Amino acid sequence: MRGLLQLFAAYGNFLLFGFLELLALILVVSFNQRQGAIWDNSWGMATAALDQSADWLGEQWALRDELIKLQGENIRLMEQLDNARYSNAVRQDTFLKDSTEQLFSYIPANVISNSTIGTANYLRLDKGSNHGVRPNMGVVSSDGIVGVVRAVTPHYSQVMSLLHRETRIKAALSNSGYFGTLTWNGKNARLMQLEAIPKHAVVAEGDTVVTSGYSQLFPYGLPVGTIKSFDFSGGGNFYNIQVMLRNDLNKLRYVYVIENEMWKEHKELDEAVNE
């Protein structure tokens, strides 16, 4: 009771003013037909707006749940592909005993920041070391490759985009298997350059370019894009090839970080060679 009295003592004037304002509003609406109609109309519009907002929030929540389910399904399908598995097939007597184990797995992530207008572009993801993300892991989307993880914190990771002047990704022509290095000249966000494809290789506009598999970052055969143009200008023994990216990095929202399950063995080999 004492607390209630102290409340009235401190805010009594304000509470009385609010009560009188509410009473005046009720009297005006109740005894004036025009003001009553205006009130009814305004109240109806307000409740309709609230109902619409509630419906929108419900739809967004349902879409979020659906997105999580779709990401999980995409991961399950990608991890079942042959290029995500390591073959342990061995010959025993006269038959081949086939055995495979998981080589690549995937961590879903959301893009929370992205740049595409400079020459050194990065993305930031909402997954970090607490979720299994490490530096030097590949990043892809459902449309193709995205970039390479360069730094991590417990909850976030920084990804060097394909649209970076230091990008060097091993890529190959899917029809012939010739491979080279994918780079970016900083000019067009949809075009990259495929270097070191020899002139004796058969090349045609529209040919598909995929990841070569010659790295620990990406499985073989992930889509990169298609050849838009090529020429021999500048001399030398290699094509100048322009690749139209399949992935539009300007509208990227959801990605997957690629986990190489055998990265420790690769690290041990690298350390042994460098001793």
User: Does residue 35 fall inside a structural domain?
Assistant: yes
Is the full-model pTM beyond 0.75?
Answer: no
Q: Are residues 56 and 117 in the same domain?
A: no
Alpha-carbon span 11 to 59, nearest angstrom: 41
Least confident of 32-41, 80-89, 92-101, 145-154: 92-101
Q: Are residues 121 and 179 in the same domain?
A: yes
Provide the token pair at 119.
């020459």
Higher pLDDT, 189 or 50: 189
Q: Are residues 243 and 154 in the same domain?
A: yes
Mean pLDDT of the chain: 81
Average pLDDT over residues 23-48: 62
Q: Are residues 55 and 143 in the same domain?
A: no
Q: Are residues 51 and 184 in the same domain?
A: no
Question: Residue 222 belongs to what domain range?
Answer: 109-275
What is the CA angle 249-253-254, rounded to 5?
110
HSE-up of 202 (CA within 13 Å, CB side)?
4
Q: Are residues 56 and 169 in the same domain?
A: no
Least confident of 17-21, 129-133, 208-212, 254-258: 17-21
User: Does residue 91 fall inside a structural domain?
Assistant: no
Total domains in the fold of the chain: 2
The residue with tokens 């900083």 is: 186
Q: Is 149 exposed, middle or buried (0-12, 13-18, 19+ CB in 10 A)?
A: buried
- The model's pLDDT over 170-187, given as tens digits with 9 standing for 90+, comes to 999 999 999 999 999 999
Least confident of 7-11, 107-111, 126-130, 157-161: 7-11
Report pLDDT for 48.
53
Alpha-carbon span 106 to 145, nearest angstrom: 13
Report pLDDT for 95.
47
Residue 132 sits in a domain whose CATH number is: 2.40.10.340
CB 148 within 8 A of CB 138: yes
Provide the token pair at 14.
């304000």
- The model's pLDDT over 44-103, given as tens digits with 9 standing for 90+, comes to 566 555 556 555 555 555 566 667 667 777 777 777 767 666 665 444 444 444 557 788
Q: Are residues 134 and 244 in the same domain?
A: yes
